[in-house]
Amino acid sequence: MTLFADPSFFVLLVPTVGVAAAIGLSGHTLRHYGLAASVAFLACVFFKTPGQLVALLAFLALSRIAVMQLARAPKSRTRYAAAVLATLTPLVTYKVTSIVDLGLWGFVGISYITFKATQIVIEVRDGLIGRADLGLEDWLYFLLFFPQMSSGPIDRSRRFIADAHATPDRDAYAGLLARGILLLLAGALYKVVIATWVHRVYAPSATGDALQQLQTALVYGIYLFFDFQGYSLMAMGASYCLGIRCPRNFRAPFLATDIIDFWNRWHITLSTWFRDFVFMRFTRLVMRKKLIGGGRLRVAQCAFIVDMLVMGFWHGLAIDYILYGLYHGLLLAVTQTVQKRSKFWRAHRREGWFRACSWALTQALVFLGFAIFSGQVGMLLGWD
């Protein structure tokens, strides 16, 4: 079974939401039921792939040991490095071995569960989470919460646990439930209906004239949005039904007027995760150690490139993903430079004609990025 895709998933989701509604409307906590439902759904997901289940259990055991050891001495650099290494090892192993089609230590949702487990390690190191906050049930619920398991959105542990422990009154939960059901229906329309229809049109090819290649890039970008936004809406909807206010993942990305604005609207939870845990930490490290000259702007330029390159490698070790990350890193660096240094940009940025031109250029660059990500550019240039 595939989450938010197979008919069997939706058949099971309906009674799951029904039971959640009965519990929530009666004024009881949904935390224990939510964890039990997540375990049940994941059991269905891994029913035909026991090897993936073993890989997941091994990941959980390794990351649990690592974070609990760090919690004993959160300021220990050795323990911190060991905890980060232990948490990232399964994902790195999977990505590297996938190059030769082995996919060792892989399981459904490994990328997103690694994000969350790594986040907890960093928050323990920063003193935001103490050992008393690392109860096994809460830790497992955060990592295994089925609506966010396979493709996000990437929630934050303290916000998630606060929602999980809260018991809203009848009216408050009724509002969450109603919104959750509407989000589920909207997401199903986006993913199951619109994205499926658009996907039938998309067929990447190294042949065809420039107009056909442009059409292919546009169709793929539109498909990617409706598919991913549809999934995200359904994930939000299921989360709301279980009493968890899942963060939104998209905010009208095709209205963005520059690349920085685009990443503030597209896959928001991913971009903010990288901003907080890669970009900002790289920036602080470089400035503290004075590793890069040229002032704050040069540091920000390098941080954008590193940030997006890491995101590219996270998607996979294929050349398309790596170049996609580098491409957007360079675009962000150039955009930052223009906005900080260009008098022309500052003089005209609020004018209608300038905003229209900026929007058109941004969308052209965004869809070119989608073409790189999908492998279309690689096929045309012969590296795929």
* 315 is a catalytic site residue: yes
Residue 182 has φ and ψ, to the nearest 5°, of -65, -40
DSSP-based three-state secondary structure for 248: coil
Q: Structure tokens of 361?
A: 């250029």
Omega before 50 within 30 of 0, i.e. cis: no
Identify the pLDDT of residue 376.
82
Q: What averages of pLDDT result for each successive group of 10 residues across the chain (384 residues)?
A: 90 96 94 96 93 96 96 94 96 93 91 95 94 92 94 91 93 95 96 88 65 84 94 96 95 96 96 94 90 88 96 92 96 96 92 96 95 83 66
- C-alpha closest to that of 124 among 179, 69, 45, 190: 69
Alpha carbon distance 293, 63 (integer Å): 37
- Ramachandran region, residue 293 (left: φ > 0; alpha: ψ -120 to 50; beta: rest): beta
Q: Structure tokens of 347?
A: 């003089």
- C-alpha closest to that of 7 among 39, 34, 43, 44: 44
Instruction: Specify the pTM.
Output: 0.93
> Could you tell me the CA-to-CA distances from 179 to 135, 164, 172, 183, 239 in Å, in that order?
30, 17, 11, 6, 10
Residue 71: CB atoms within 10 Å: 20
Quote the DSSP letter at residue 3: T
Alpha carbon distance 298, 118 (integer Å): 28
Given the residues 28, 315, 328, 348, the one annotated as active site = 315
Helices (H), 342-383: 343-348, 352-374, 376-381
Identify the pLDDT of residue 78.
95
